[in-house]
Structure 1
Amino acid sequence: MIFKVKISARLRTDEHFAPQDGRISFKFPEVGKLDTRISILPTTKGEKIVIRLLTKDTKMLTLEQLGVRGESLEKVERAYNKPWGMILTVGPTGSGKTTTLYSILQNINSREKNITTIEDPVEFDIDGVNHIQVNPNGNLTFANGLRSILRQDPDIVMVGEIRDTETARIAINAAMTGHLVLSTLHTNDAVTTVPRLIDMGVEAYLVAATVNLIVAQRLARLLCKECKQEYTLSKEEETDLEAARPDIARNIKSGDKFFKHVGCKACGGIGYKGRVGLYEVLELTKEMREIINDVNFTVDELYKQSKKEGLVTLLDDGINKLNEGLIDIPELIRVTALNE
């Protein structure tokens, strides 16, 4: 079976000791176009294959539907309405970073704008957007592809992921020269993205000049609407929470009412159905840029300034969604773990 999958995904059938990634597309009358992402990993017992389903005909969610609210949404809208600069979504693998960028692209897509993406893989197909699939075997890397895209006079460029110094520098220079650049990066929160870019070899003054917005995010499981159950937090539960997660405990107290997962037929007995994003949206203000331009700046200075400006952190957003009855305390603990 793996041999047939490799052929369909255009992977090397003679390679059994190195990881391989590919994709296969299908068309079904019932569900439309179905894209699959193939991951093959060598193990001591043979090759292990994982197939991820990506339904391209699924309706794309708006930023509000994803969970971006209030002032955070206003910050995102201000950033994507600028003609140039960089917007970054950051977080671990599987936190919905690319989905957020696609939602932004949907908002700014128009016939007058030349939009090109380079991705690995292309996860959605947006009408009017030029999508490019990375192909290292054909020397089409993020860096090489981005160079070629910039010769096509684009207005907006989306780079699936900034993985190395070369790509980071090209993307920053593109943002500096009149393009709106969207990309993702693996960092824990919004503030630490700044030193991460600098560690990758991008000069601090370029980061300060080009990065307009950093969106850190996590995905939390939504409580099933059919079976979630309201309860009152007990004193014992509050004490346990204070010991395990004092950062959460200081925001809630015994006597507060929340919801918990139960399980029913609608959710397959697990108590959760669907997901919602937790967002930390950092807009680089004049004051933030001045701090970054100081070669001796510290991350603590950025944290203090961001809090002074009212940054809603991932935990803050999680607490808000806990109080709204969208998620429960165990899920909040899981997605905002202190070692993330």
Structure 2
Amino acid sequence: MSFIGTVFGRGKRGPRRPSGFDPYGRHLIGKNLERHVHVDVENQTLFLDEDRRSSDEMQEWLNAHRRLTGAVWPAKWEGIAELTARKASFREITAIRDQAGEGAATAREAGRKLLTIAAAFRISDMHFRHGATHTSIEIRLRKKIMILKEVSRHEGRQLEIAIFNLQSSRKNTYSEKDPQDGGITGDALPGTGLANVRIIRGPSYPQMDGGGFMSLRFQYKEGTGARPEIPPDIILRSPKKPEVDIEAELLPKGFSPRQIDLLKYLCSFPAGFVVLTGPTGSGKSTTLLALSRHQARIDPHKRLITIERPVEYFMPWAVQLEVSNTDDTEQAQREFAEHARNMLRMDPDRVVIGEIQDVGVALVAVTLARTGHSGLTTLHVDDAFDIFPRLEDMDNDRLKRQVICDTSLFRGVVAQRIQSVLCPHCKLPWEPDDPRMPSVSRDALRSWGDTSGVYRRNPDGCDHCNHMGNDSPTAVAEVVVANTELMSNVIRHGVEIARQWHRARPDADTTMVEKSIALAFEGRVDPADIIGEVGQIPFRDELEQERRRATAARAARDAGTKEPAP
């Protein structure tokens, strides 16, 4: 008899029910499927392993489940790692509920007490941040994030569930792995002066280790009278600062002290985005991490929320919302949109958007900047100034340059590449007739000075470099601080003129290729690698002439005379 017939074989007395019968079909899950199926009875949803979607055994079980329940439950297909984490979370939550048992009232009372203490401070927001081992309970008091309490993750989940269940509505059953919202009425919190508490919660990175968050917005009644008494043993603490400073992080990577000072300046604004640009593998995410760490070190009292696809680096100072790294573009867009809606309700001061990939993400960044949030993000363009036409190409109406060329939206841009560095032990003198380079590139290099100190890679390498010919690479970057002149020139004259005029400024950072050329004349970089990794080598006199023309044009404009042709 088939699998279906074994379970649902009918006789005169109806279907046979084996021992351990479960009306939701969990007893039908065989050993081969046990790891690949999770039945969420409370929400009547099936979570299934994507890799088993087409297996006969999975399809038979789904058919059996439909016949047994008499309904088609929604099925969510996900990767085995996410499914495993979901099942582990379910076991943990079940254990918490079982442990509470008759003590559920005690747990609710602990939740009420925590909210009462928080209300005594007249806070605006409370946040639960669950990590792998502990939960940090934070409050916003006088615009600053402070730590109210730190407990084990198990205790943190107990408190979260207890508070979530204070809602008068029972339409939402607590589900650790799914985003949820709700609210607690002031009637459930007598003596606190609260009118209501709005809730939003859900999973966050690292989800596999139990990561999650819950944010509560406190709204008070008018004329609340005396505040609840603050227990004398409650001592607020500042969030922990990251230990590594930005100089120690970026100087060894190739950033100059002046560039680091410009980056600090860009990170100090209370609103607006800093955009890091470059191709895949150019070090954008590493630099973004350093900038975010710097912000958390300088002011740990600000709250950071990120949306990333996928999360590349763990940021202990942030709540990181992850978008599935799926090939399904529509699914990824839906997840991002949901995270973006939730982000604005999670009380952020700063935000990180991992990458602006499409018009929807770009519009979210613009909205966040306009609503007073500072942010970091990345964009795949070749040159720092190309962010404007790239965004405009996404939506020629909502992202036209007249809209986005605003220093309150975009504070600055960092263009970056990773440049190969020569092994100091085996590098070879560069030859003026280097066959690896076009003659025009060789001539352009010689226009920058005496090439007797220039070297090339040894193709055989040595023992010091594992016969690769290279040492550890370095970053070459251009930091562009946006100003009114730059934005106005992009609108009036276009990107090319705006680029020339900005680079002609005496306070402008030099280009990436100029930095690579300087490294070549220091004997550290192979000129052929400049062409392959950064860009073509310009003739020095042509570059200087271009900047002199741009300087003259700027001077003529400032004097009120006709601007010379660029």
TM-score bucket of the superposed structures, by smaller chain: 0.7 to 0.9
Q: Is the 8 A contact 2:530 2:536 kept in 1?
A: no
2:420 is aligned with 1:221:
yes
Q: Is the 8 A contact 2:454 2:523 kept in 1?
A: no
Q: 1:283 maps to which residue?
A: 481
Q: 1:198 maps to which residue?
A: 392
Q: 2:14 maps to which residue?
A: none
Q: 1:103 maps to which residue?
A: 290
Q: 2:495 maps to which residue?
A: 299
2:520 is aligned with 1:322:
yes
Give the C-alpha shift of residue 223 in structure 1.
2.3
Provide the secondary structure at the position in 1 that maps to 2:362: helix
2:158 is aligned with 1:158:
no
Tell me which of 292, 295, 310 is aligned to 1:121.
310
Structure 1 residue runs without a partner (length 5+) = 1-6, 26-32, 34-58
Please give the root-mean-square deviation of Cα atoms over the aligned residues, in Å: 3.2
Give the C-alpha shift of residue 239 in structure 1.
11
Structure with the greater alpha carbon radius of gyration? 2
CA distance 1:15–1:192, shift in 2 (3 Å): farther
Tell me which of 68, 89, 104 is aligned to 2:255.
68
Structure 1 residues 268-308: Cα deviation after superposition (integer angstroms, max 9, x where no partner):
110113221111221112210222343xx322211211221
Structure 1 residues 17-66: Cα deviation after superposition (integer angstroms, max 9, x where no partner):
xxxx98979xxxxxxx9xxxxxxxxxxxxxxxxxxxxxxxxx99712222
Give the C-alpha shift of residue 159 in structure 1.
0.6
Q: 1:112 maps to which residue?
A: 301
One-letter amino acid of the counterpart of residue 465, structure 2 = C
CA distance 1:276–1:151, shift in 2 (3 Å): same
**Cα distance in 2 for residues equivalent to 1:317 and 1:75:** 16
Instruction: Give the 5 Å matches for 1:1-340.
Output: 12-13=50-51, 62-109=249-296, 110-135=299-324, 137=331, 141-201=335-395, 202-209=399-406, 210-225=409-424, 227-229=425-427, 231=429, 233-237=430-434, 242-244=439-441, 247-258=444-455, 260-261=457-458, 263-294=461-492, 297-309=493-505, 310-338=508-536
**Cα distance in 2 for residues equivalent to 1:213 and 1:287:** 13
Give the C-alpha shift of residue 114 in structure 1.
0.3
Structure 1 residues 118-153: Cα deviation after superposition (integer angstroms, max 9, x where no partner):
112211112221112113658753343223212212
Structure 1 residues 176-229: Cα deviation after superposition (integer angstroms, max 9, x where no partner):
22111111111111111121112222132332221111111111223234x243
Q: Is the 8 A contact 1:134 1:140 kept in 2?
A: no
Q: Is the 8 A contact 2:513 2:535 kept in 1?
A: no
CA distance 1:139–1:259, shift in 2 (3 Å): closer
Task: Work out the number of aligned pairs and report it.
Answer: 291
Give the C-alpha shift of residue 162 in structure 1.
0.4
**Cα distance in 1 for residues equivalent to 2:79 and 2:260:** 35
Q: Is the 8 A contact 1:92 1:188 kept in 2?
A: yes
Give the C-alpha shift of residue 240 in structure 1.
5.7
- Normalised to the residue count of structure 2, the TM-score between the two structures is 0.47
**Cα distance in 1 for residues equivalent to 2:486 and 2:53:** 49
Q: Is the 8 A contact 1:90 1:188 kept in 2?
A: yes
Q: Is the 8 A contact 2:262 2:481 kept in 1?
A: yes
Give the C-alpha shift of residue 84 in structure 1.
1.0
Give the C-alpha shift of residue 156 in structure 1.
1.1
Q: Is the 8 A contact 2:278 2:415 kept in 1?
A: yes
Provide the secondary structure at the position in 2 that maps to 1:77: helix
Q: Is the 8 A contact 1:156 1:180 kept in 2?
A: yes
Provide the secondary structure at the position in 1 that maps to 2:375: strand
CA distance 1:247–1:165, shift in 2 (3 Å): farther
Which one has a larger percent strand, Structure 1 or Structure 2?
1
CA distance 1:23–1:74, shift in 2 (3 Å): farther
Provide the secondary structure at the position in 1 that maps to 2:341: helix
CA distance 1:133–1:314, shift in 2 (3 Å): same
Provide the secondary structure at the position in 2 that maps to 1:191: helix
**Cα distance in 2 for residues equivalent to 1:321 and 1:269:** 22
CA distance 1:331–1:115, shift in 2 (3 Å): same
Give the C-alpha shift of residue 158 in structure 1.
0.7
Q: Is the 8 A contact 2:453 2:523 kept in 1?
A: no
Give the C-alpha shift of residue 81 in structure 1.
1.1
Q: Is the 8 A contact 2:275 2:377 kept in 1?
A: yes
**Cα distance in 2 for residues equivalent to 1:69 and 1:167:** 32
One-letter amino acid of the counterpart of residue 172, structure 1 = V
CA distance 1:113–1:275, shift in 2 (3 Å): same
**Cα distance in 1 for residues equivalent to 2:369 and 2:252:** 28
Fraction of identical pairs, as percent: 25
**Cα distance in 2 for residues equivalent to 1:197 and 1:333:** 27
Higher relative contact order (CA 8 A, sep 6+): 1
One-letter amino acid of the counterpart of residue 220, structure 1 = Q
